[in-house]
């Protein structure tokens, strides 16, 4: 799923922000 910066994404979810893996909220 795509994520946005701001909240912690669930473990196993992926983010588009290489400097902030697993950070952001799901916007899928």
Residue 13: which pLDDT band, with cuts at 50, 70 and 90? low
For residues 8-16, give the mean pLDDT. Answer: 57
How far apart CA 21 and CA 23 sit, in angstroms, is 5
Q: What is the pLDDT of residue 2?
A: 57
User: The pTM is what?
Assistant: 0.16
- The token pair that represents 12 in the structure block: 């196993």
For residues 1-28, give the mean pLDDT. Answer: 55
19: left (phi over 0), alpha (psi -120 to 50) or beta: alpha
Q: What is the pLDDT of residue 15?
A: 54
Q: Under 8 Å CB-to-CB from 27, ≥6 apart: which residues?
A: 1, 2, 3, 4
Average pLDDT taken over every residue of the chain: 55
Which H or E run contains 5? strand 3-8
């Amino acid at each position: 799923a795509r994520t946005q910066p701001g909240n912690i994404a669930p473990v196993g979810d992926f983010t588009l922000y290489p400097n902030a893996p697993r950070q952001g909220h799901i916007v899928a």
